[in-house]
Amino acid sequence: MLCFKGDKLLLFEGSFEFPVRPEPVLRCSLDFPPSWGETIPWCEVDESFEPSGGEWLDLRSLWALCGDEVFARAGAAYQYMYWLRHTRFCARCTTPLQLSRLDRGLCCPACGWTSYSTLVPAIIVAVERDGHLLLAHNVRMRPRIFSILAGFVEPGETPEQTVAREVMEEVGIEVQDIRYFGSQSWPFPSTLMLGFTARWRAGELRPDGVELDEAGWFTPETMPQLPSPVSISRRLIDHFILRHSHS
């Protein structure tokens, strides 16, 4: 099973699968009722658990070290763990919640209210202009790593409307031909990334200076340092490079 300590995952003797259930555990998927169905086996341990031959890896660095399958499994397990860790009391009457016997929820034994795990939708978009791709540097990213633009969907918006708004807010340009590309679950903590492509329509780049400190148009031959191949941002960038590279 996958073994978590806080926001770190155990790498045990070269594998992310720990062979037995540790004791004691704070939370464990093996304790879920049958109504939860099959889940990825995982557990959360306290700070005292230190198995010989083990190494704890930060989840945010894990996606740069492992493949899609491991990242997807660890991400799904972490999202359930994060939700259970931070959703302990009823939002209506503050009574401690219990695992539901009917579905994958947390129910209140006092008032009957049920809490379900939430997903936060966000967009990420590859904007093109005459064979160039828009890339920007986010102030929270490591120096010199550039990526495409992203942002959270706000209440009342469609994802396509979010694309247009975020691009305008972050770099001051209008876009057109917004098209869906694909999606990726992003467990930091519970985001669903919706990928899009779009074309420049009007305006010149003006980074907002708050989230972005630099932005520019790049060809396949002039690409800066890019995100990990595991991320949907890199998939969108690679899609652009494949279509525009000269053979």
- State phi, psi for 226 to the nearest 5 degrees: -115, 165
Q: Is residue 232 predicted with pLDDT exceeding 80?
A: yes
Q: What is the mean pLDDT of residues 46-61?
A: 87
Measured CA to CA, the distance from residue 76 to residue 81 in angstroms comes to 9
Q: Is the dihedral of CA 165, 167, 170, 171 positive or negative?
A: negative
Q: Which of 15-24, 57-66, 73-82 has the lowest mean pLDDT?
A: 57-66
Q: How confident is the model at residue 200, as a pLDDT?
A: 98
Question: Cα-Cα-Cα-Cα dihedral of 201, 206, 207, 210, to 10°?
Answer: -120
Contact (Cβ atoms closer than 8 angstroms) between residue 114 and residue 100: yes
Q: How confident is the model at residue 246, as a pLDDT?
A: 67
Q: Is residue 94 predicted with pLDDT exceeding 70?
A: yes
Q: How confident is the model at residue 141, as a pLDDT?
A: 79
pLDDT in tens, 99-127: 999 999 999 999 999 999 989 999 999 99
Q: What is the mean pLDDT of residues 65-84?
A: 84
**What is the percent of the chain where pLDDT is above 90?**
62
Q: How confident is the model at residue 64, as a pLDDT?
A: 65
Q: How high does pLDDT run on average in the chain?
A: 91
Q: Which residues pair with 12 in a beta bridge?
A: 15, 54
Name which of 245, 144, 246, 231 is nearest 187 in CA terms.
Answer: 231
Q: Is residue 247 predicted with pLDDT exceeding 60?
A: no
- What the chain holds in terms of domains, given with CATH numbers, is 2-86 (no CATH), 120-244 (3.90.79.10)
pTM of the entire predicted model: 0.86
